[in-house]
Chains A and B, each alone.
Chain A
Amino acid sequence: MGGPVASSSARRGLLPGLATPTPGSAVWYYRRSPLGLLAAGVIAVFVVAAVAAPWLTPFADQGRGDAELPSRLMAPNAVNWLGTDDLGRDILARLLFGARTALIVAVGVVAAAVIIGVLVGAIAGYFGGWVDEILMRITDTFLAFPPLLLAVVVAAALGPSLRNTIVAIAVSWWPWYARQVRAQVLSLRERPFVQALQVVGVPTRQIITRHVIPNAMTPVWVQSTADLGAAVLTAAGLSFVGLGPRPPTADWGVMIADGRQFVLSGQWWIAGFAGLAITLVALAFNLMGDVIRDVTDPKTRGNL
C-alpha cells in the first residue's frame, strides 16, 4: 500500500518519513498491517477526544463536573447519546474529559519511567563495576514487587491525586526500562565507535547522552508503546479502589466505581461505556506495540 509516486510526492512536505515510507522500512511494513492501521485509528480518535474535549460536546460543563440533577440516570437517548450518570451528567461528555485524564496519565507515566529507567540503565551499563552492582541491586529490589502492588502502596502513601497516580505507577515501572537499556549499553560500550570517541577524548557525559543512549532506544520505544495502554489500565485500577484523581475530575476508572452500584438495578451505561473506552484504548496500544515489535524485527516482519 505504498501509494502512487505522483500523489505521494505532494505529501512529502508534511511528514516526509510517514507519507512516503521507503519500501522495506519499518514504517512501510507497518502500513501493510490492517490491525496496525486500525489501532492507529483508534489512538488518533482517543488523542483528538482528549485534546478537543470541550469543543466536541454541548455538555462541556458537565464533562468538567457540573451536576445536572433533573436529568439523572437517563438511559441513552437522542439528547444524551450515552445516557447520564447519577448526578445527571452526560456520559459522553464525561468520557471525553476522562480521555484527557487517561492521556495525561499514560504519557506522564511512560515519560517518567523511561527517563529514570534510561538514565539508570545507561549509567549502570556504561560504567560497570560497583556502580553497576549498586544500581542493579536497587533495580532488582523494585522488580521484586508485583508492579501493581507497589503502585498501590506508593499511591496510598502519597494520597489520591492525578499527579500521585503518575508517580506511583512510574516508580513501579522504571526498572523494566533500566534492565533493557543496560543490556543494550553493555554491548554498545564495546563497539568501535564508542571506543573511538573515548580515545579522541570526547567527554564521557557527551558520549552517553549523544551517542550511547540514542543507539539503545529501539527496544525502549517498542516497549513504551504497549506500556501506554498498560498505564491506562493500571491507572483505572487504582482509581477503581479510590486511589485516583478526586472528583469532579472525569476519570474512567472512577466512572466504573461510581456506576458499580447501578449495574444490578439496570443502569449499565455508566460503568459500561467507561469500561469499553478503557478496553478500546488499551487494546489499540497493545496491538500497535505488537505490530511495531514485529516490523522492527527482521525475523518476523515478512509475515504480517
Chain B
Amino acid sequence: MRYLLRRLVTSLVVVLGVVTITFITSRLVPSDPASLYAGPRARPEQVERVRQELNLDAPVVNQYASYLTDLATGDLGVSFATRRSIAADLVQFLPATLELALLATGLSMLIGIPLGVIAAGRRGARTGSKASKARRQRSDAGIRLFAVTSVSVPVFWTALLFQMIFAGELDLLPLSGRTSSSVSFREWTGFFLIDSVLSGSPSNVWDVIKHLMLPVAVMAAYPLGLTIRLIRGSMLEVLGEPFIEAARLAGIDERTVMYRLALKNALAPALTILGLTFAYSVSSAFLVEAVFNWPGIGRYLTDAIVRIDFPVITAAALVITVIYVVVNLGLDLLQVRLDPRVELD
C-alpha cells in the first residue's frame, strides 16, 4: 500500500515535469510563438492581436499557471489551423491509433515469445549428435538475425514496400484507410473491429480486417524483434541457473524443463516488454499512419507538423506521454502483484 502511494506520487511528479517540458518547448523555444501562430503572411498588428489573445504578453509564470489550470480542466487548447478543440479532436482520433497499437502489440507478443524460447533452447542444445547440435545452433542464429533485422528496418519504408506488393502488384489488400468507401456502420466505440461486429454484417467485418492487415503487420515488426531478443536473453539467463541443472540431472525431460520450469521464470520481464512495445507502437504510429492514411492521432500529429500547428503538436505529445506513464505505472503494479521477488523499494 505504501509502495502504491509512493509510486502514484512519483508518477504525478513525472507528469508535472512532462507538462513543464511541453510548456517550455511550446512557448519558449520558437523564437516568436505569436508570429508562428498568426502565420507567415500576417501583418504586425495581427501578430500583436494573437499575442494578446494567447496571453503571450503576460509574464511567463502567469502563462505557466494558466497552462496548468487549463490542462487540469481538460482544456488542451485550440488548433490554430482549424480552430477546433484539440481535446475533442484527440478523443475522435485516439481509438483508431489504439486499435492499431493494441493489435500490433498482441501480434508481436504472440509470435515473439515462442520464437524467443525456441532460439534460446536451440542455443543451449545439449542432446543429439554433433551435427544436429550445429544445425540447431544455426537456427538460433537465424532467429537472432531475423530479430535484429526487424528492429533495423525503417517502419515507413516497410509500409511502402508492403503497399507496393500487396496492394499494388498483387492487388490483394486495400491501399489505405480504415474501411472501403462503400462500407459504413455505426461507430459505437471507435474501434472498428468491434463496431463492425456489432453491425452484424460479416462483409463489414472482413472489410475492416483487410484494412487492418498491412498497417498492423508493419507496425508489429519492430516490437516483434524486441520481444524475441528480450525473451531469448532472459531464457538463456534462467537456463544457466542451478535449479535448471538440478532438474536436468534429476532426469526431468527437456520439454518440461524448457516450457514448465524455465519459461515460467523467464516471463518475469514480459510485462516490461509489453510496456516498451506498446509505447513504441503508439509513438511510432505517426510514421505508419502517414503512409496508410490512417485517421488516428499519428496522422493528426503529422498533419500538424506540416502546418506547424504548434498547440496540436505539443498536446498530442502530452496525451501520448501521459498514456505511456499510466500504462507503465499499471504494469509495474501488476508486476509487483505477480512476482513476489520484486522489491517494494
Which A residues are closer than 8 A to B by beta carbons? Answer: 35, 137-138, 140-142, 144-150, 152-154, 156-158, 229, 233, 236-237, 240-243, 253, 256, 260, 263-264, 268, 271-272, 274-275, 278-279, 282-283, 286-287, 290, 299, 303
Contact = CB atoms under 8 A, between A and B. Distances in A.
A152 B313 contact: yes
A149 B321 contact: yes
Nearest to B123: A303
Given A153-B313, A283-B148, A287-B148, A263 B163 contact: yes
Contact of A241 (B26, B161, B290): B290
| 9 tightest A-B CB contacts, nearest first | A141-B17, A275-B157, A146-B283, A282-B152, A283-B152, A157-B29, A149-B283, A157-B25, A153-B317
Contact of A275 (B123, B161, B325): B161
Contact of B164 (A142, A157, A264, A287): A264
B13 A137 contact: yes
A215 to B, nearest CB: 25
Contacts of A153: 22, 25, 313-314, 317
| Chain A binding surface, main DSSP class | helix
A268 B164 contact: yes
Given A146-B282, A156-B308, A157-B310, A290 B148 contact: yes
Contacts of A140: 10, 14, 17
Contacts of A137: 13, 17
Interface in B147-198: 148-149, 151-158, 160-161, 163-164, 167-168, 175
A236 B154 contact: yes
A263 B158 CA distance: 12
Contact of B279 (A142, A146, A154, A272): A146
Interface centre among B10, B153, B306, B325 (most CB of A within 10 A): B153
A144 B324 contact: yes
B154 A256 contact: yes
Given A144-B325, A157-B29, A152 B317 contact: yes
Interface in B300-343: 301-302, 305-306, 308, 310, 313-314, 317, 320-321, 324-325
A144 B321 contact: yes
A278 B151 contact: no
Contacts of A145: 18, 21, 317, 321, 324
